[in-house]
Amino acid sequence: MIAVVDYGSQFAHLIARRIRSLGVYAEIFQNTTKAAELKNRKVEGIILSGGPRSVYENNAPTIDKGILNLGVPVLGVCYGHQLLAHVLGGKVVPSSKEYGKEILVTAGKTRLLQSLGKKEQVWMSHGDSVVTLPQGFIVAGKTQGCKIASYANDARRIYGLQFHPEVQHTVHGMKMLENFLNICGCRRNYTIKGIDRKLVAEIKAKVGDGAVIMGVSGGVDSLVASALIKKATPNIYCVFVDHGIIRKGEAEYVKKLYEKLGFRHYYYADASQIFYKRLKGVTDPEEKRRIIGRTFIEVFEAKVKELKAKHGNIKFLGQGTIYPDRIESAKASKAAAVIKTHHNVGGLPEKMKLKLVEPLKDLYKDEVRELGMMIGLPREALMRHPFPGPGLAVRIVGEITAERIGIVQEADLIFTEELRKSGQYDKVWQAFAALLPVKAVGVMGDSRSYGYIIALRAVTSVDGMTADWAKIPNDVLERAASRIVKNVRGVTRVLYDITQKPPATIEYE
């Protein structure tokens, strides 16, 4: 097992996912973890993640120095790179910022960078630099703006990378991680094959004769989680809360899907007017998310009370929470900077006295899809693009109104239809239409018009933690844009977003 020690990086889980994809189990640990715990867990290697702090700040996250005496290889990434140098006697100082793609020139022989080229494209994100190395270390690579972009001590098996090998923009980052696993001597035996039986058995043991209530959305995570729970017990009550900010036709689609899969207890709660009322005039993205989260809980809680009165054995709450749900909510580490509140993390009020059932909590999205295939769920449902919990609220920049919701629903449907017709839908990770809070002049017929701008976004990704903009053929984009402007009242212009993640997020808010 590889321990990924999290210093607040938004990519800590991405490191773990990359390690798992190489056939080695990886787990996230808090940066306050002691050497004794890692020793007890029999870790074979340790990776220190990046983070938003500076190592020389007061109360900056540090490391139990005993970890460096465990005799297992250690790799520091970004903040981890700086931290290792700092605690081992090197020097870290503020420097000119490097952000984005850079060229690493390898220098000095080290096992970590073996089989790589003299020049490698890497991805940087830092404002501090290591300027003096600890005794016994060599410079393994540099960039134009960073003279110590990588260092190594092969004898002690301690390494540092100022850049991020885990993101797609570092072209041969996986090779670097593979080299580190070879240094650790890890066996490549991690797989989720057969995990469905294990998870069903665990749910049975926990739930017993009790019933489970679960909020479902039609998304992959809640679908697979509810299907697993259904295999463990027939006593599952699925509730679809319609907050009114969903895809066009979504409520009907989800109802038919769950009926087709044989769920006996499926309930629909139309709460759209409550959500619209509370969101009126709200423009701050975080406030929108908080309102939606709180209101969802209220509506769901009312449904739980109603069903508990009817079926008294409801004792458990099922959730489709997956491992990366903790990333952008800063749940993996107290050192993380919150980017946005996540809709899956939190839970219901304690007064409901429901015990959580989260069968997917240790899996990543691609693993969840693989698990869904194992248990026979329809591929079309498993390969649907991710849809955010707050729905179109995070795709309408600014105030949410009935008019704007209608515009985004229609534009999104048209874009999806064109992607499906052209065979592009299954080639991208996620695609959608967003509405920008500005208007632009257009010409409709012979008349001047003034309407909204729609931004189309399509990205390619493995797990949604990093993403590149999808190279959709121009004719497909042209057809989508023409149909949107022609058929969606109030839109005069359509743009295509070509920003990567990072620096952008996939969603708009």
Q: Which of 98, 102, 166, 367 is catalytic?
A: 166
Judge whether 509 counts as a catalytic residue: no
User: DSSP E strands: which ranges in 288-346?
Assistant: 314-318
DSSP state letter for 147: E
Question: How distant, in Å, are the alpha carbons of 1, 51, 208, 439 from that of 6?
Answer: 16, 8, 36, 43
> 3-state SS of the chain: helix, strand, coil percent to 5?
35, 25, 40
Q: In what order do the strands lie in the sheet with 146-153?
A: 26-30, 2-6, 45-48, 74-77, 158-161, 146-153, 138-143, 91-106, 119-132
Measured distance CA(156)–CA(173) in Å, rounded? 22
Catalytic one of 13, 164, 172, 342: 164
Told to judge if 164 belongs to the known catalytic residues of this protein, a careful annotator would answer: yes
Structure token digits, residue 288: 């929108």
3-class SS of residue 45:
strand
Active site residue 166: yes
Choosing from 13, 78, 86, 146, the catalytic residue is 78
Indicate the burial class of 269 (C-beta count within 10 angstroms; 0-12, 13-18, 19 or more). middle
Quote the CA–CA distance of 80 and 203 in Å, as a whole number: 37
CA distances from 84 to 78, 87, 343 (A): 10, 5, 35
Q: How far is CA 392 from CA 6, 80, 203, 240, 248, in A?
A: 31, 37, 33, 16, 11
Residues 6+ apart with CB under 8 A from 500: 169, 466, 467, 468, 469
What residues are labeled active site? 78, 164, 166
